[in-house]
């Protein structure tokens, strides 16, 4: 396959998976500029890592590995530079911008979930994103590089944390 | 709270994502690729400048050694000068090589390996930059010896000798102490922190902390019985 065909195929795959790329960015960055920077970096690293994708390998497993690794590294760099703002500050800004959305209970719950995810450490965030994207424990274990038992225990603990945060909105 | 409720909330449309996706046509992705390439190159630039400066400093010392070897007469002073500059050159050289090796490895890291493996490797690489720092401190005592010669030692008098001995002795002790104590375990130590300022202390500290965090992440509970609450809700087909 020549370079142009590779590029066309890559763009097609990106079009198909752009939603999850942006959801990952949303879970690791609080402001729009950072999210766009991270999306750029993920797309670039996916392109650059293309030669590590093996025929027969599940595309989503490969893509999640690259995207989550880039997102965690990006978050850590921003944290070292002191550029990570709390999600609460971000929510206050959003609330000022569009109060209408807050009328919607599901929208409230979505933001509460997003805030709870932002309060987790970067590795737990990756685990819960994979769980919410309906990945099996086996696939999560493969992406994260830990045992399935470890995945099950961690997911259970993270869900308990989220339950405590989101319960009041759910009721 | 049901898993399905959580997933429903997660999948609830986010206006910002919708707007972002609306602008993503194939040309948009090509633009993203180009912008990211340019940005990553610009991030690498200061690190390359650091390595070039280190190599420049080493070249200067090689030149001093060469000139001293060719032009100064054999004497105790030449021995002190060449020995001290040689040790400074060696220590700087090892530190620059370690730093360059870490930067090179960082650039070539495989992001498609598992998250645990890749992040542990990245954190180890960042943390190993401490090795370059501790080795570079080893050259400290030689800044107190390169100027010594027979004349100074013979005519300097007792005060000079006391000050010289104190300066060299203190820097030898300090260099050995720092070499032995600058490591991830001691990075929180206030005295060690003082000597890490200017070496990107915060970033080194966080890399060390993350390394500990990721080690415990991988080592936690390996043999917990599978109970209903932790059973796989969506097993692989």
DSSP sequence for B178-213: HHHH-SGGGTT-HHHHHHHTTS-HHHHHHHHHHHHH
**Residues 6 or more apart in contact with residue B24 via CB below 8 angstroms:** A14, A15, A18
Say how many CA atoms lie within 13 Å of B130 toward its Cβ.
Answer: 26
- Which is nearest to B85 in space by CA: B20, B146, B40? B146
Interfacial B residues in 185-204 facing A (CB < 8 Å): 200, 202-203
Domain ranges in chain A are 1-84, 86-171
* Position B63 pLDDT exceeds 90: yes
CATH number 1.10.10.10 given to A86-171: yes
Q: What is the mean pLDDT of residues A108-133?
A: 90
Taking CB atoms and an 8 Å cutoff, what residues of chain A touch B15? 101
* Position A88 pLDDT exceeds 50: yes
Are A145 and B116 inside 8 Å of each other by CB? Answer: yes
Q: Note if the pTM is more than 0.90.
A: no
Distance from the B113 Cα atom to the nearest Cα atom in chain A, whole angstroms: 7
Could you give the CA distance from residue B48 to residue B41 in angstroms, rounded to a whole number?
Answer: 10
CB B88 within 8 A of CB B137: no
Q: What is the mean pLDDT of residues A88-103?
A: 51
Q: What is the mean pLDDT of residues B193-208?
A: 70
Q: What is the mean pLDDT of residues A61-85?
A: 83
Indicate the pLDDT class of residue B43, thresholds 50, 70 and 90: low
Per residue in B66-113, pLDDT (tens digit) is 999 888 888 888 899 999 999 999 999 998 998 888 888 877 788 888
CB B124 within 8 A of CB B211: yes
Q: What are phi and psi of B47, to 5 degrees?
A: -70, -40
Whole-number Cα distances in Å, A80 to A1, A28, A75, A83, B79: 41, 14, 9, 8, 45
CATH of domain A1-84: 1.10.1740.10
Q: Is B157 exposed, middle or buried (0-12, 13-18, 19+ CB in 10 A)?
A: exposed
> Of A112-116, A164-168, B87-91, which range is least confident?
A164-168
Q: What is the mean pLDDT of residues B204-220?
A: 74
- Which is nearest to B215 in space by CA: B129, B123, B125, B126? B123
What SS3 state is found at B70? helix
- Looking at residue B140, its pLDDT comes to 94
- Looking at residue B185, its pLDDT comes to 78
Per residue in B2-42, pLDDT (tens digit) is 788 888 888 887 776 666 666 666 566 667 667 766 766 76
CB B32 within 8 A of CB A43: yes
Could you give the CA distance from residue B96 to residue B135 in angstroms, rounded to a whole number?
Answer: 10
Per residue in B107-140, pLDDT (tens digit) is 778 888 899 988 888 888 877 778 888 888 999 9
> Of A50-54, A66-70, B72-76, B210-214, which range is least confident?
B210-214
Interchain contact A14–B (C-beta under 8 A): yes
Query: What percentage of chain B has pLDDT greater than the value 70?
Result: 78
Say how many CA atoms lie within 13 Å of B46 toward its Cβ.
Answer: 2
Are A152 and B226 inside 8 Å of each other by CB? Answer: yes
- Looking at residue B6, its pLDDT comes to 84
What SS3 state is found at A30? coil
Domain ranges in chain B are 43-219
Nearest to B36 among A41, A132, A142 (CB): A41
């Amino acid at each position: 396959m020549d370079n142009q065909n590779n590029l066309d195929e890559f763009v097609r795959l990106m079009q198909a998976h752009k939603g999850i790329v942006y959801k990952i960015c949303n879970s690791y960055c609080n402001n729009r500029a950072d999210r766009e920077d991270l999306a750029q970096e993920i797309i670039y690293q996916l392109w650059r890592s293309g030669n590590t994708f093996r025929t027969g390998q599940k595309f989503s497993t490969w893509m999640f590995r690259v995207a989550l690794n880039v997102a965690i590294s990006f978050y850590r760099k921003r944290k070292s530079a002191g550029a990570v703002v709390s999600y609460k500050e971000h929510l206050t800004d959003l609330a000022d911008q569009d109060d209408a959305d807050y009328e919607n209970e599901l929208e409230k719950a979505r933001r509460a979930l997003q805030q709870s995810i932002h309060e987790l450490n970067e590795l737990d965030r990756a685990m819960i994103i994979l769980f919410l994207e309906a990945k099996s424990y086996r696939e999560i274990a493969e992406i994260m590089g830990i045992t399935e038992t470890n995945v099950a225990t961690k997911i259970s603990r993270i869900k308990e944390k989220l339950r405590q945060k989101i319960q009041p909105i759910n009721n | 709270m049901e898993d399905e409720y959580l997933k429903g909330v997660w999948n609830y449309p986010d206006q910002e994502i919708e707007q972002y996706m609306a602008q993503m046509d194939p040309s948009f992705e090509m633009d993203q690729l180009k912008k990211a390439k340019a940005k990553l190159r610009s991030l690498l630039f200061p690190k390359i400048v650091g390595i070039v400066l280190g190599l420049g400093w080493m070249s200067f010392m090689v030149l001093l050694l060469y000139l001293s070897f060719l032009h100064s007469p054999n004497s105790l002073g030449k021995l002190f000068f060449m020995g001290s500059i040689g040790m400074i050159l060696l220590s700087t050289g090892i530190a620059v090589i370690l730093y360059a090796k870490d930067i090179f490895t960082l650039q070539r890291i495989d992001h498609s390996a598992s998250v645990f493996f890749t992040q542990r490797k990245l954190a180890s690489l960042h943390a190993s930059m401490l090795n370059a720092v501790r080795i570079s401190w080893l050259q400290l005592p030689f800044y107190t010896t390169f100027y010594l010669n027979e004349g100074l030692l013979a005519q300097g008098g007792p005060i000079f000798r006391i000050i010289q001995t104190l300066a060299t002795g203190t820097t030898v002790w300090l260099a050995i102490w720092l070499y032995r104590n600058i490591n991830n375990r001691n990075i929180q130590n206030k005295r060690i922190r003082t000597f890490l300022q200017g070496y990107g202390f915060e970033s080194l500290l966080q890399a060390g902390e993350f390394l500990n965090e990721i080690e415990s992440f991988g080592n936690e509970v390996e043999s917990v019985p599978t109970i209903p609450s932790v059973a796989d809700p969506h097993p692989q087909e």
